[in-house]
Amino acid sequence: MSAVDLTQFHKTFFEESLEGLDAMEAALLALGAGSTDSELVHTIFRAAHSIKGGAATFGFTDVAAFTHVAESLLEEVRSERRAVDAELVELLLRSVDALRAMLDRSGRGQPVADAESEALRAELVRLVSGEAAVAVVVAPKAAAVSGWDIGFVALPHLLQTGNDPLRVFRELQQLGRLEVVRAFIVDGAPSQLSALDPTQCYLGWDLRLHGATTRADIDAVFDWLDGDCELAIKPLAEAPAASAAVAAVANEPKPAAPVAPQAQQAIASSETSSIRVGIDKVDALINMMGELVITQSMLSEIGEKFEISQLERLRDGLAHLERTTRELQESVMRIRMLPIGSVFNRFPRLVHDLERKLDKRVKLELHGEGTELDKTVLEKIGDPLVHLVRNAIDHGLESPAQRKAAGKSETGTLKLNAYHEGGNIVVQISDDGAGLNHAAIVAKAQQRGLISVGQELSDAEVAELIFQPGFSTAAKATDLSGRGVGMDVVRRNVRDLGGGVGVRSVSGKGSIFTITLPLTLAIIDGLVTAVGSERYIVPLTSIVESLRLRAEAVRKIAGGGEVFHFRDEYLPIMRLHHAFGCVDAITDIESGIVVVVEEGGRRMGLLVDDLLGQQQAVVKSLEAHYRRVQGISGATILSDGSVALIVDVGGVVRLGRSKAA
């Protein structure tokens, strides 16, 4: 295969390499100092070896060279010539970070190696070479020699296992100068060209590798070919010298062509342009398509020879079509559903780094990693979760000394939990730290004029203050927190996804931040309402109750607002015809219907003319076709072909509480 042809596989290589780095990181975090878990070490080694092999195959030589040195260090750990300690784990974690950055630059067509990666590679080389000098005395067999003679004979089925001799040669060239002494056709190969099977390999090579390298490095190159080839490896000093007339120096394979611009774009956007789907979901989709074809054939037959006597059969066919369409829709939506574990997996490393930086001890517990939600939601929830986790460790959990003085374990517990509730997914971030500092929050709020001095606030109202823009109680800003930019951004980002954020805290016991998100942004179940000549859809997940009010149940308040009594509290009324400028709408409270909605713990009554029924709405972006409108999250097309706007309940609640309302 030519080098140009290989570019089509670059995207797959990058995706698989990033997955390999994730596996390395998870295993390193689980390994710990002094660990002798050979399975974890083997997992790390295999991931590094796979990345090195792929990088060499596709011509990403800087990545291959870096990974080769890291792999050599891992081989010493695997062969128990080097013990695992905290410094080694940190060095390898830094190597994982460096490789991620190198792969990112490779995908963008930028220079791969930089000063930081080269300095780290030099550190790895020094560590490996220093250990090798000791190994000469302790374990002479592991010492480097001046070269090796390698007899490499491919077994016929080698190509069928996905292996490629060309990749082997490239990896050997990473170790030193490679010379092909002899290339030959093995005994038993077909003598006629027409009898050759292109899936079989009939070749063998006598190779000579010049340069100071160890047997373990060479064994690692052939590690993937175990059972697919015959090998004979001898130090160069033990092997007879080959005739100079016979010896021929191998032409070095040219590196793969640079990533084409279109490939760079595909690699850079791989997170949003592709999705891995389980075969069970694909099977369900195919089955539904089969049912749809059967129903379509039945209805077509009825349509060709329709008689009044077939009316009942037509109704049955339409009912079956409705069921099949709904199941097909659900199957298609499930394809976009991915486990939240892919987001949760980034937190063990984050917690590990923050522990060292803040000198705290943290036990991370992850629950509900298999809970699925829409890929679009999944991609956008990562940053808010990272901020909440950082805040929990920085502000929530105390130092070991403080926890011990408070009668707690010196190790704090941080829990991430995800689960389904109704039509939403709930993500909770909880800690057993000190909880919110109510006194400091109130003092800061008074200082900023958010509340008056002496004003009494409930725990919920105090907690709500931390979501104010620019609010921070930190004495000084650090690179982790204290700049007053954070919690308001978290709430805004979650609201943009159609969700909400709440917090509960108990002094001395800890805090629980709860994020509620829709399962998908593409389809919602909604209540169709009429406001004048317009139609508005209110998401069912936000509706508490619908009711009619008598005029005497509504009270006027200062500023022209209206409230009504609902379950032991007074709720404000938002007239949707005022909010959205609808004409010919009902203005008399008694003639309209009030829909009680809730968002982020706040409730409000929306006055509409009438309720027209429940309907699933396929959400279309209003911003993409028009512009962003406060209080509107999108639009949809109703069954009669008319357009209805989808109410953003959170936006309407904020609009109702603003002076503009």
Summarised one tens digit per residue, pLDDT across range 535-593 is 999 988 788 899 999 888 888 887 778 899 888 888 889 888 888 888 888 888 889 99
**Cα→Cα distances 381→23, 24, 425, 515, Å:** 22, 24, 12, 10
Q: How confident is the model at residue 140 (pLDDT cuts 50, 70, 90)?
A: very low
What is d(CA 141, CA 458) in angstroms, rounded to the nearest whole number? 73
pLDDT at 536: 93
Kindly report the CATH number that applies to the domain delimited by 3-139.
1.20.120.160
Strand partners, 210: 147, 177
pLDDT at 273: 55
The domains spanning 357-518 and 523-657 adopt the same CATH topology: no
- Main-chain phi, psi angles of 631, to 5 degrees: 90, -5
Which two structure tokens, joined as six digits, stand for 550?
């008598």
Which tens digit of pLDDT belongs to each residue from 52-68? 888 887 778 889 889 98
Residue 241: pLDDT over 50:
no
* Tokens encoding 425: 């997914």
Per-residue pLDDT, averaged over 615-624, amounts to 76
Please state, as a whole number, how many other Cβ atoms lie within 10 Å of the Cβ of residue 290.
Answer: 11
What gap in Å lies between CA 111 and CA 113, rounded to an integer? Answer: 6
- How far apart CA 306 and CA 281 sit, in angstroms, is 37
The residue ranges of every structural domain in the chain are: 3-139, 145-242, 279-335, 357-518, 523-657
**Separation of alpha carbons 620 and 341, rounded Å:** 28
- Please state, in angstroms and rounded to a whole number, the distance separating the CA atoms of residues 26 and 43: 10
Over residues 305-319, mean pLDDT: 78
- 337 pLDDT more than 70: yes
User: If we measure between CA atoms, which residue out of 559, 561, 581 comes closest to residue 571?
Assistant: 561
Classify strands 643-647 and 534-539 as parallel, antiparallel or unpaired: parallel
Reported as a pLDDT band with limits 50, 70 and 90, residue 600 is: low
**Given a cut of 90, is residue 418 above it in pLDDT?**
yes
- 597 beta partners: 543, 604
Task: Tell me the residue length of the chain.
Answer: 661
The tokens of 365 are what?
């517990």
pLDDT, residue 58, reads 79
Looking at every residue in the chain, the average pLDDT score rounds to: 79
CATH code of the region 523-657: 2.40.50.180
What pLDDT score was predicted for residue 513? Answer: 93
- Cα distances from 55 to residues 48, 103, 106, in angstroms, run 11, 10, 10
pLDDT of 243 > 70? The answer is no
Instruction: Choose from 263-267, 330-334, 604-608 the range with maximum mean pLDDT.
Output: 604-608
Residue 594: in which H helix or E strand, if any?
Answer: strand 593-599
Residue pair 391/505 in contact by the 8 Å Cβ criterion: no
| pLDDT for position 486 | 67
Identify the residue whose tokens are 């930089």: 114
Q: Is the pLDDT of residue 250 over 60?
A: no
CATH number, domain 357-518, options 3.40.50.150, 3.40.47.10, 3.30.565.10, 3.40.50.300? 3.30.565.10
The reported pLDDT for the residue numbered 189 is 83
Fold of 145-242: Alpha-Beta Plaits (3.30.70)
CA dihedral 465, 467, 470, 472 (to 10 degrees): 60
pTM of the full structure: 0.60
Question: Which structure tokens are listed for 241?
Answer: 């010298």
Of 529 and 620, more confident: 529
**In the predicted model, is pLDDT for residue 6 greater than 50?**
yes
Rounded CA separation 449/414 (Å): 33
Residue type, 336: R
Query: From the CA atom positions of the chain, what is the Rg in Å?
Result: 33
**Helix, strand, coil shares, percent, the chain, to 5:** 45, 25, 30
Q: How far apart are alpha carbons 75 and 70 in whole angstroms?
A: 9
